[in-house]
Chains A and B, each alone.
Chain A
Amino acid sequence: MTKIVKIALSAALMLSVGAVTASADSDKGLKLYSKKLKSACGISGAAMAGKHTQGEWQELNKSGNLAKEIKTICPKAADEDLDAKFLPHYFDFFFNFASDSGNVPSC
């Protein structure tokens, strides 16, 4: 046990020094939504994503109006929760479960 564990632990600890977000992630978007927006929006993540079609979310994201749209739907959302670093994850989640996506959220 000892040798393998030591190698594995050292490698893992060396890597876990700081946080870097590699790429947008729908699961992470859902997690962030629950954590930062759900109470301000007052609706579930699936209901929020279902507010627009995939094309509409894409257009909002491309035109840089995603944060503005979230704020329109959820006026109580805090500005820091709409930070640029969260938006790609929100977008991935909203796009995945958009009203015309046909994807069924977990229950």
Chain B
Amino acid sequence: MRKIVTLSAVAFLSTMAFADADTQKQIDELKKKIEQLEKANKAQDVKISKVNAQSAMDNIKFDVDFRTSYDNLRYETANGAHYSNSSLYSNRLWLGMGYAPTENMMFKGQLSVNKAFGANYNQRGAGFDMFDWVLNENLTDDTIKLREAYWLWSFDTGKIGWTVSAGRRPATNGYLVNLRDDDQAKSPMGHIINMEFDGASAAMKLDKYISGMYFKLCLGRGLTNANSRFDNTGYDFATDDSDLDNTDMVGMIFQPYDNGQYSVMTKWYRGFNVPGYKADFSGLESFGDMDGMAISFKTDGIGDGINDFLDETVLFASFAASTTRPNAGQPMLGSTDDETGTSFWVGTQMPNLTGGKFGLEYNHGSKYWRPFTYGEDTMIGSKMAVRGNAYEAYWTQPLIKDVFSMQIRYTYLDYDYTGSNAFFGYGGTPMKISEAATPTAVETAQDLRVYFRYRY
């Protein structure tokens, strides 16, 4: 019996040994195959990546930003009358595009439609609806318009980086105002510039020396007085001395420091031959030059790593001033003297339990305060331009990843003086609301907005 058992065990073990050798061989072969497949896969990845890059180089990349908004507006005049709209709906489409065939040269553009729900009769397109400075910020019609289009060339000389750019440059949704607009900050400072411009810029980046430091020279043309095509005179596109002068702007942005958490930004500009209404309001004429400056501070996170709430809380403060430089005999903002207005602005943006952001802002402007913020995205008029007090609270909430979001925003403007949103001539004359020649001057304005926004 023992013999049989021993023989069986030997037979079993030798079979196992053969089986083990066979299995090992199979495993080795499989390993080899997997390695080959991995190699092939990597080669395919490289190929796909090359195809992607090639395709990207050959094509303009588009992105979509589509927003549907509801606004509830209410105005109260000095004599206590009320004007309102409790159901203003609108659609805004931004079709962005970008193309960078080389590392140093890129093109960016943005087409836009901004339209109220519904047809209208003789309301859209009237007044300043179609004015070029605010063309894509106003509610107009369903035609596609150009909001941005520019080329940007970047290069380095040693440790200094340079960019040069020209076209219809991004001049809205700038630094700090981008927080409530839930956009990335564009070139200008939102406290003093927020309108569309054709122009050019050149920047010198010194961030290899001091974190975030750069200078940027900005040039813009706000109005052209070139004759129209087939002009009666025959001097097509020649300058027309009987019309408004060219309105040009030169500005300098200087960011002394930005380490991603703490940043300081400054700007100075001069607008030449700025327009305004004549004394009898019969039309526009050029009145003189307008200077402006601002300095803004922002901290993006309080402390470092204390907790998530403080890490993601933003605080900012900004001060700005504007000064008129009227031509002889042409009072700007109703005065023949150089008049200076000032404004300060403070705000915060905090994260909340729902993964969204909650913000509070306050700004105050003095009697002669006059920024270039006509294109600000506030239905009741630019809050930054207020000669008085402006209060704002908003809640921005992502709903589906970073693709679909919503915002609820409430803006309240309390004017001390008239002319806050006017041009630079008589229309901008500040009169105490209580003493205003016209009792229909707007004393307070409020806007409750809810929007849903798709971006991809």
Residues of A within 8 A of B (CB): 1, 4-5, 8-9, 11-13, 15-27, 30-31, 33-36, 38-39, 42, 53-56, 59, 80, 99-104, 106-107
User: Which residues of chain B have C-beta atoms less than 8 A from A53's C-beta?
Assistant: 45, 49, 52-53
Contacts A102-B61, A106-B184 supplied; 10 other A-B pairs, CB < 8 Å? A1-B412, A8-B408, A12-B393, A15-B352, A19-B351, A20-B355, A23-B355, A23-B401, A34-B258, A39-B260
Other-chain contact of B353, A4, A8, A16, A39 (Cβ < 8 Å): A16
> Least Cβ distance of B260 to chain A in Å?
3
The 10 lowest CB-CB distance pairs between A and B, nearest first, are A102-B56, A22-B355, A104-B98, A35-B260, A34-B260, A19-B308, A19-B351, A100-B53, A15-B352, A16-B352
Q: Can you list 14 pairs linking A and B with CB atoms under 8 Å apart?
A: A12-B352, A12-B393, A16-B350, A18-B351, A18-B353, A19-B352, A22-B355, A22-B356, A33-B260, A35-B259, A35-B301, A38-B260, A56-B49, A102-B100
- Are A19 and B53 touching (Cβ within 8 A)? no
Determine whether B130 belongs to the interface, using a CB cutoff of 8 Å to chain A.
Answer: no
Known contacts A80-B305, A102-B56, A8 near B393 by CB under 8 Å = yes
CB A75 to nearest CB in B, in angstroms, measures: 18
Do A5 and B412 touch across chains, with their CB atoms under 8 A apart? yes
Known: A5-B393, A11-B395, A54-B49. A102 touches B55 (CB 8 A): yes
Interface residues of B in 255-313 (CB under 8 A from A): 258-261, 300-301, 305, 307-309, 311-312
CA distance A101 to B57 in the complex (A): 9
Beyond A9-B393, A31-B260, is A100–B52 a contact (Cβ under 8 Å)? yes
A46 CB → nearest B CB, Å: 9
Q: Which residue of B is nearest A50, CB measured?
A: B103
**Which residues of the partner chain A approach B398 to less than 8 Å between Cβ atoms?**
22-23, 25
B91 is an interface residue with CB less than 8 A from chain A: no
Task: Determine if A36 and B260 form an interchain contact, defined as CB atoms under 8 angstroms apart.
Answer: yes
**B149 CB-CB contact with A under 8 Å:** no
User: Are A1 and B106 touching (Cβ within 8 A)?
Assistant: no
Q: Which residues of A lie under 8 Å from residue B90 when comparing CB positions? A: none
Closest chain A residue to B399 by CB distance? Answer: A22
Q: How far is B99's CA from A16's CA once the two chains are assembled, in angstroms?
A: 39
Asked if B211 lies at the interface with its beta carbon under 8 angstroms from chain A, I say yes
The answer to whether residues A21 and B308 also contact, given A31-B300, A39-B211 and a CB cut-off of 8 A, is yes
Task: Closest A residue to B300 by CB, please name it.
Answer: A35
User: Which residue of A is nearest B150, CB measured?
Assistant: A107
Contacts of B412 in A (CB 8 A): 1, 5
Nearest residue, chain A, Cβ from B410? A8
A102 and B107 CA atoms in complex are apart in Å by 12
Q: Which of A1, A24, A27, A38 has the most CB of B within 10 A?
A: A1
Contacts of B64 in A (CB 8 A): none
Contact across chains for B53 and A99 when beta carbons are under 8 A apart: yes
- Cβ 8 A contact of B49, one of A27, A100, A104: A100
> Which chain A residues lie closer than 8 Å to B309 at the CB level?
18-19
Considering the chains assembled together, what is the distance between the CA atoms of A106 and B350 in angstroms?
24
Closest-by-CB residue of A relative to B310 is A19
User: B300 — which chain A residues lie within 8 A by C-beta?
Assistant: 31, 35
- How far apart sit A23 and B259, CA to CA, in the bound complex (Å)? 25
A41 smallest CB distance to B (angstroms): 12
Contact B48 A4 (CB under 8 A): no
| Neighbouring A residues of B258 by C-beta, 8 Å | 34
Asked, given contacts A18-B309, A34-B260, A53-B49, whether A104 binds B100 with beta carbons under 8 Å apart, the answer is yes
Cα A104 to Cα B352 with chains together (Å) = 31
In this assembly, does B418 line the interface, its C-beta being within 8 Å of a C-beta of chain A? no
Quick check: is B431 within 8 A (CB to CB) of the other chain? no
How far apart are the CA atoms of A89 and B4 in the complex, in Å? 70
Q: Contact at A103–B61, with CB atoms within 8 Å?
A: yes
Does A17 contact B352, Cβ atoms closer than 8 Å?
yes
Q: When A102-B55, A107-B106 are in contact, do A26 and B402 touch as well, CB less than 8 Å?
A: yes
Q: With an 8 A cutoff between CB atoms, is B112 at the interface?
A: no
Which residues of chain B come closer than 8 Å to A107, judged between CB atoms? 106, 108, 152, 154, 163, 165
User: Quick one: closest B residue to A102, CB to CB?
Assistant: B56
Instruction: Let me know if B446 is at the binding interface, CB within 8 A.
Output: yes
Shortest distance from the beta carbon of A45 to any chain B beta carbon, whole Å: 10
CB distance from A79 to the nearest CB of B (A): 12
Query: A82 to chain B: closest CB distance in Å?
Result: 13
Give complex CA distance A24, B395 in Å: 19
CB distance from A4 to the nearest CB of B (A): 6
B434 interface contact, C-beta 8 A: no
Residue interface bits B201-215, CB-to-A below 8 A is 1, else 0: 000000010010000
Q: Select from chain B the residue with minimum beta-carbon distance to A23.
A: B401
Chain B nearest CB: distance from A9 CB in Å? Answer: 6
